[in-house]
Amino acid sequence: MTTRQSKSNGKRPAKVSKVRFGQGGELHQTSSVSDERLTTNHGVPLSDNQNSLRGGRRGPTLLEDMILREKIQHFDHERIPERIVHARGSGAHGFFELTKSLAKFTRARVLTEVGEKTEVFVRFSTVAGGAGSVDTPRDVRGFAVKFYTKEGNWDLVGNNIPVFFIQDAIKFPDLIHSVKMEADRGYPQSASAHDTFWDFVGLMPESTHMVTWAMSDRTIPRSFRMMEGFGVNTFRLVNSKGEGTFVKFHWKPRLGLQSTCWDEAVKIAGADPDYHRRDLFDAIASGSFPEWEFGVQLFSQQEADALPFDILDATKVVPEELVPIRIVGRLVLDRNPDNFFAETEQAAFLPTNVPPGIDFSEDPLLQGRLFSYQDTQLSRLGTVNFHQIPINRAKGCPFQNLQRDGHMQMQVFKGRANYEPNSLAEAGEIGGPRADPEGGFRSFQLPIEDRKVRLRSESFGDHYSHARLFYRSQSEIEQAHIASAFVFELSKVSLDHVRTRVLSNWRNVDEDLAQRIANGLGIELPAKSKAFVEPKDMEPSAGLRIVGKYPLTLMGRSIAILVTDGADGRIFKALVKQAEAEGATVKIVAPKVGGVMLKGGTKLPADGQLAGMPSVLFDAVALVVSEEGCTELLREGAATDFVAHAFGHLKAIGFTRECQPLLDKANVQPDEGVVNLTDNMDLFFTHARTRLWEREPVVRLLS
């Protein structure tokens, strides 16, 4: 028996690529790996990476083998604790560009220098599931942006819904415990459809507004690229005179706000658990960069006082109709992370990261967040020095202070002074940095003189008006989806009293909605719960809808072409040409991954095999098949599902004449969106730009 040797010849010199010195004077090593020789973590070259050190060929492994021990030990500790919430996330690099100056309201450079580009790192996430959970549960999405500004990092840690479940940070652990896996059984993973969540919700009327949003299609987004983002909490801008203006932050996707259908989201979870992560990565890799407009709603204290709700209450939305959104910048994501762990996983977002000119409000939810994020990084990243990890480092400016040492200190400081004040500079030594009273961060001079209390302001007491506003602002389609989502979720609740309490609360929101839910569940409507503050009717806000807001475009959408042997290559080519010209992605799906032989003998390789690339992964499908091909497909369940699901999920279906038997088998009923490609390819593309909402009553009994 011969011993297998490592292929490394051991002659090439070990090379550490790209070593540069950071602004703090420390050695900062970028980690691009070269193909030079392997070493241990301490630089000792390896002669063999295949065999551990043994006492004889067949003898026991020796404790002395430091190479084996180092490698295994590093591997044993490869995982760090995942985030307690928002554990499942995907990130990307990009830039923010200011298009309109807010100099009147703030002295933060990032919001005053028009045309200046600021580097950003963005992380999107689900909330409830673990790091390895699927991308498409019904859940709120995180939308966290780290701006590396010239005045320090600004982290705008937002969500894709503008309000939140609770008003006070002290309820956050309860909320999250209720929605995560139930304590005794350890399930469900990443789902709100269970007893404990709805128990909490029913007992906390302040959650009514957010839960109504959560039951809307906002929580089943089509793509991260097609989500709105919100800062949620009210913040303050502070100008050079020290004057404060309240601000709400908004992100508006250039591709419009789009969602999946619930049944589709459920099926995607099986077909591609990484659906959103892949979509983001592929879009950036192909040069189709996701983009958002950045907007602000600005209002003074007087304007805030005139609003019929409290702007410090994060369960309330400020309708665009009351305070318009001014678009002042754009965000473009143009670079994928090189390493998921080092960047996306180790990214630490802190709502406390604000440059001079941006400040907090007294929102009691935000105030709690100001403590939590810094604290959670310690258990997740294990050190107070997590700000030195490359993804978290302030890159736009130097950072320097007299904080020292600690676990995993990366900086090598020079000099004796690690305290301030000191007078070492007078002796020609390094004295160290000092505070800057002019340019440094100054808090808004908020007058406070009051009693210490544990009390909620009465102005936070109206729990239903905004939920009513949201529901009544929706299109009919969206209202039906909301009612159906409630029915689905509450059908999974096993405790009758929990369900009943939820319905009692929602009667305060809208009687029709409560009745629809009760009908869908097949139960009697219970008595209405007593509202602390009687809900008021507000003017519906079109800005709160999804349907009708997105642009009718193929840009960023994806089309599957199902082909078989003998398919018509001309139709295929024409489809691809038009789709790609309009910015859509085309994928070729075939019975076998090796591809098909088109009529005339051209070989066409496939992007995916039918069972592995179902129609749920696409926005529209075209069926370009031959007669024989169709006969084969009739015997394949995945083909029937491909067509039936496309129809059921309200997608445009283009087909060639030969495909009729498959359409019949899949029970596709002719409508405007089922288009013979030979007759009218343009019509297919018209419908591929949106969903055929009018088909929904044909395929689904909605509540």
What is the contact surface with ligand HDE in residues (CB under 6 A)? 83-86, 89, 123, 125, 142, 144, 157-159, 164, 169, 172, 232-233, 314, 347-349, 365, 368-369, 372-373, 376
Helices marked H in 354-464: 364-381
Q: Pick between residue 86 and residue 252 the one whose CB is nearest to ligand HDE.
A: 86
Q: Which residue has the tokens 């730009």?
A: 689
Closest approach of ligand HDE to the CB of residue 460, in Å: 15
Q: Pick between residue 347 and residue 610 the one whose CB is nearest to ligand HDE.
A: 347
Q: Pick between residue 191 and residue 348 the one whose CB is nearest to ligand HDE.
A: 348
Query: CA-to-CA distance for 335 and 284, rounded, in angstroms?
Result: 6
Strands 89-98 and 117-126 come out as antiparallel
Closest CA to 299 of 286, 287, 312, 289: 312
Closest approach of ligand HDE to the CB of residue 279, in Å: 17
159 as an active site residue: the answer is yes
Q: Which amino acid is at 1?
A: M
Catalytic residue among 9, 41, 77, 86: 86
Q: Which residue has the tokens 């180092």?
A: 70
Rounded to 10°, the helix 476-491/496-506 angle is 160
Closest approach of ligand HDE to the CB of residue 84, in Å: 5
418 as an active site residue: the answer is no
Closest approach of ligand HDE to the CB of residue 347, in Å: 6
Please list, residue by residue across 298-326, b when 16 or more beta carbons sit within 10 angstroms of its beta carbon and e when fewer do: bbeeeebeeeebbbbbbbbbbbeebbebe
Catalytic residue among 93, 153, 159, 336: 159
Closest approach of ligand HDE to the CB of residue 364, in Å: 8
Q: Pick between residue 348 and residue 624 the one whose CB is nearest to ligand HDE.
A: 348
Kindly report whether the peptide bond that precedes residue 337 is cis, defined as omega within 30 degrees of 0: no
Three-state SS at 202: helix
> Cβ distance 505 to 467 under 8 Å?
no
Q: Pick between residue 274 and residue 671 the one whose CB is nearest to ligand HDE.
A: 274
Please list, residue by residue across 75-107, b when 16 or more beta carbons sit within 10 angstroms of its beta carbon and e when fewer do: eeeeeeeebebbbbbbbbbbbbbbeeebbebbb
> Cβ distance 155 to 144 under 8 Å?
yes
- For 175, 285, 384, 552, the CA distances from 347, given in Å and listed in that order, are 24, 21, 14, 35
Residues 6+ apart with CB under 8 A from 499: 198, 490, 493, 521, 523
Torsion of CA 465, 467, 470, 472, to 10 degrees: -70
Q: Pick between residue 154 and residue 684 the one whose CB is nearest to ligand HDE.
A: 154
Closest approach of ligand HDE to the CB of residue 39, in Å: 33
> Cβ distance 280 to 224 under 8 Å?
yes
- For 174, 267, 281, the CA distances from 129, given in Å and listed in that order, are 16, 17, 21
Q: Where does residue 522 fall: left (phi above 0), alpha (psi -120 to 50 degrees), or beta otherwise?
A: left
Closest approach of ligand HDE to the CB of residue 159, in Å: 4
Q: Pick between residue 164 and residue 309 the one whose CB is nearest to ligand HDE.
A: 164
Closest approach of ligand HDE to the CB of residue 357, in Å: 20
Tell me which residue has its CB nearest to ligand HDE.
142
Q: Pick between residue 189 and residue 660 the one whose CB is nearest to ligand HDE.
A: 189
Closest approach of ligand HDE to the CB of residue 180, in Å: 12
Beta strands in 174-305 (DSSP E): 229-230, 235-238, 244-253, 291-299
Q: How would you list the strands of the sheet with 652-655, edge to edge?
A: 608-609, 585-590, 558-563, 620-624, 652-655, 674-676
Q: Pick between residue 132 and residue 398 the one whose CB is nearest to ligand HDE.
A: 132
The two structure tokens encoding residue 52: 């551990």
Catalytic residues: 86, 159
